[in-house]
Amino acid sequence: MSAPYVDLKEQFIRIFGSGGRLHIIRAPGRVNLIGEHTDYNDGFVCPMAIEPQVLVACRAREDGKVRLASTVFSDSIVEFSVQEKIRRGEPAWANYGRGVAAELLGAGIPLCGMEALYTNNLPVGGGLSSSAAIEVSTAFCFLTLVGQTMDPMRLALICQRAEHEFSQVPCGIMDQMIVSTAQAGKATLFDCRALTKQYVSIDPKDLRVVICNSMVKHELTGSAYAERRRQCEDGVAFFQKEYPSIRALRDVTCRQIESAAGKLDEVILRRCRHIVGENARCVEAGQALDQQRYERVGELMVQSHQSLRDDYQVSCPELDFLAAEAMNVRGVYGARMTGGGFGGCIVALCQPRSVEMLTGHLRETYKQKYGIEPGIFATTATAGASVLE
């Protein structure tokens, strides 16, 4: 048994007491290689699961009570019952668990009570989907304790609804999908409308993915995210007047974007231009990855960052600096901001021999510029959530 499991079990016993059968569940974080803000526009994304993860120790209770604790968020125990109506509440992190329980019950899954302790080596708020990892691991806990399994895509949709209803974040399906369905050594080119996926190889002998956390999170995030969604909807309404078959920005062409110049509000036009261009970049990048055309993938990643910075306007100086500096290192194919924006992380695709040089360069230059020590790690593509024991 590896040391992290021993530590987690010992902490569980300190909090909840001994006895009963313990299960250990893992759910990975994810990084999106390209395809940003396209998921809620019925578009394409290309994420992969990463090595940092959420681990949960859990055991069943017979009285219907659910008691949750976290080594990251708080030492206090959050309690609710699966035999009563489940409501949102404080602390906010526990709404992921509350929401998943409520949605599983709503889907007709009979649940038992549970005690669960979460530990997490994903940077919270870093744009690496710690929330989806908590949701999916919670669902695995409940299902494991009642001896059930579920199709991974159905599980992802249940977890997405939990985030909508209980955390009140109108997220797309990407995060929960990749945390549930990822394959080791593969990224996923995912169609967010058809819910279909194509796995593309990330060979660790050829490629390493380096994630650098700016360690900043600007306060615009929540309001700006909702604003961008509204702006995309306004864009769809504009194009539907002339093209009634358009259902989402996924259906808009580059030519239609060009013809809207001077007719559509300039800010809305820029938002639409990013989404339409990003969908095209994402599909091409997935194909190029599969064909091992890494230079082209890198070019598309750089174009993606420029579009997120200039047209979608969700980057920030810290992310711009890190993305630009990464491209100054030999062996780096491409770099871009990843996640919702206004802080969080960049992702860089590079040759394995360049990892040490890249991490050293980013750490030194970023600290010189901003006085902040960035969080940096290299990873490869891992499998989705699973029961470890």
pLDDT for the residue numbered 167: 84
Query: In the predicted model, what is the mean pLDDT of residues 246-265?
Result: 96
Model pLDDT for residues 194-253, shown as the tens digit of each residue: 999 999 999 999 999 999 999 998 765 568 888 999 999 999 999 999 999 999 999 999
Model pLDDT for residues 98-129, shown as the tens digit of each residue: 999 999 999 999 999 999 999 988 766 556 66
pLDDT for the residue numbered 129: 66
Catalytic residues: 175
Q: What is the DSSP letter of 371?
A: S
Model pLDDT for residues 137-155, shown as the tens digit of each residue: 999 999 999 999 999 999 9
SS3 129: coil
pLDDT for the residue numbered 221: 57
pLDDT for the residue numbered 125: 58
pLDDT for the residue numbered 386: 96
Fold of 3-202: Ribosomal Protein S5; domain 2 (3.30.230)
Does the predicted model carry a pTM greater than 0.85? yes
pLDDT for the residue numbered 101: 97
CB-facing half-sphere around the CA of 299: CA atoms within 13 A: 6
Angle between helices 294-310 and 266-290 (to 10 degrees): 170
Domains of the chain, by residue range, sit at 3-202
Distance between the two ends of the chain, CA-based, in angstroms? 10
SS (H, E, C) the chain: CCHHHHHHHHHHHHHHCCCCCCEEEEEEEEEEEECCCCHHHCCEEEEEEEEEEEEEEEEEECCCEEEEEECCCEEEEEEEECCCCCCCCCCCCHHHHHHHHHHHHHCCCCCCEEEEEEEECCCCCCCCCHHHHHHHHHHHHHHHHCCCCCCHHHHHHHHHHHHHHHCCCCCCCHHHHHHHHCCCCEEEEEECCCCEEEEEECCCCCCEEEEEEEEEECCCHHHHHHHHHHHHHHHHHHHHHHCCCCCCHHHCCHHHHHHCCCCCCHHHHHHHHHHHHHHHHHHHHHHHHHCCCHHHHHHHHHHHHHHHHHCCCCCCHHHHHHHHHHCCCCCEEEEEEECCCCEEEEEEEECHHHHHHHHHHHHHHHHHHHCCCCEEEEECCECCCEECC
Q: List, in order, residues 6 or more apart from 379 with CB less than 8 Å away.
A: 31, 50, 51, 52, 208, 209, 210, 211
pLDDT band at 361 (very low <50, low <70, confident <90, very high): very high
Counting residues of the chain whose pLDDT is more than 70, the rounded percentage is: 96
Give CA–CA dist 140/387, Å, rounded. 7
pLDDT for the residue numbered 1: 38
Query: In the predicted model, what is the mean pLDDT of residues 320-337?
Result: 98
Query: In the predicted model, what is the mean pLDDT of residues 329-354?
Result: 95
Query: What are the two backbone dihedrals, phi and then psi, of residue 220, each rounded to the nearest 5 degrees?
Result: -70, -15
* Mean of all residue pLDDT scores within the chain: 93
Give CA–CA dist 140/149, Å, rounded. 8
